[in-house]
Amino acid sequence: MPFAPTSDLSDADHGGAGNLQLMLADLARLVRTESPSSDLEAVRRSARIMADLVHERLSRRPEIVDVDGVHHVLLRGADPRVLILGHHDTVWPIGTLDVLPYLEADGVVRGPGCFDMKLGVVQAVHALARLVERHGSRALDRVTLLVTGDEEVGSTTSRAIIEAEAARCSAALMLEAAGPGGSLKTARKGVSRYDVAVVGRAAHSGLEPEKGINATIAAAEAVLAIAVLGDAAAGTTVTPTALTSGTSPNTVPASATFAVDVRATTVDEQRRVDAAIRGVRPAVDGARIDVRGGINRPPMERVAAEGLFRRAERIAHDLGHPPLVSVSVGGASDGNFTAGMGVPTLDGLGAVGGGAHADDEHAEIAWILPRTDLLEALVEEIALEGSTAER
């Protein structure tokens, strides 16, 4: 569903949602500040740049919240109705810009993290700036903006902040990238992650293998037992992933570890799989299995988004945009947390493009101002006009 604006991407053509060139300059600034989740110093630098950008555009200095060395950017409204949520960390290691530099060409922007999801937070800041221009600083009193620094690795340090801020609001709007063709994300699978450790006993594999307890064999049997726990009809996937085992070619391995990724559409399915994984017993006598991890994010069920999607659908029509489409996806976001609390949540309001976590990551320039218009109108209606989010 390609967007078909006029060739002139001026402010006038898009309701004055913001200056496109200024937005692209802000995006370039964020993308060129590399911020892999695992590099806490890089995330700290990125949080500072993000905070400076918020201050420059909104004339309010946000708080930088440090939780276990991870830095999150929080601009809290005095009486918030809407939580606008994004993240500034990415999956790309330091040095990626040397091979995948920020570029604007042929109607798209490219660069590590531009689609997932630095353009989304730029759109959020500029939508709020436009609301301040029209309604004064009171607009910021009705909104909380939170840009976290560890979404890509499970939001372990930001979850408590997300849930605390969401509890004060009547709606949560997620600036994660849109689905195919600009579709909004109204349902997401829940995520569970496990690290399974298998403990055996080492022995020389040539001289006395019978004295060993082979952790590789025990792990292989456990992998097979866990892999069959998925249920295609229920939309549940259970995928053993990274595996390591042993220390040398001539030693019965004393240990092995493997990871398991679980995606499910319901909490009941998450709990079923969780119990089953924890119930797996070693098939090799004397071996021991230890399971760490568990349910990370609950599912974002469609009911949490239905009212907000209908509202966005109407606003998009009024703005002259193509009809909005909703989509259910397997990937999770911080919207899973807010929806799991019962807070109406709409996701996928950010960049339109593709290539998340891949070398062809990109965002389509033609969508930037229209999507910023949509967010501005949605926030205005919920936060400033006293219209509560539909549940």
Give which of 196, 292, 281, 204 is closest to 247, Cα–Cα: 204
- Judge whether 352 and 177 are in contact, CB under 8 Å: yes
Compute the distance between CA of residue 299 and CA of residue 338 in angstroms, rounded to an integer: 10
Query: For residue 68, how many other CB atoms are within 10 A of its CB?
Result: 8
Tokens of 37: 């989740």
Q: Two tokens at 287?
A: 């071996």
Tokens encoding 347: 């996701």
Question: Of 26, 34, 116, 151, which residue is the catalytic one?
Answer: 151
309 Cβ contact list (under 8 Å, min separation 6): 184, 186, 324, 326, 346
Instruction: State how far Cα 75 lies from the chain centre.
Output: 19
Q: Does 89 participate in catalysis according to the annotation?
A: yes
172: enclosing H helix or E strand:
strand 171-174
- The CA-CA-CA angle for residues 67, 70, 72, to 5°, reads 85
For residues 123 and 364, the answer to whether their CB atoms sit within 8 Å is: no
- CB neighbours of 114 closer than 8 A, spacing ≥ 6? 27, 31, 102, 351, 353, 361, 362, 363
Query: If you count DSSP H runs as helices and E runs as strands, how many of each does the chain have, helices first?
Result: 11, 18
Secondary structure of residue 63 in the 3-state scheme:
strand
Element of type H or E holding 259: strand 255-264
Catalytic one of 89, 176, 269, 376: 89
Comparing C-alpha atoms, which of 274, 243, 240 is closest to residue 257? 243
Amino acid code (one letter) for 146:
L
Which residues are identified as catalytic?
Answer: 89, 151
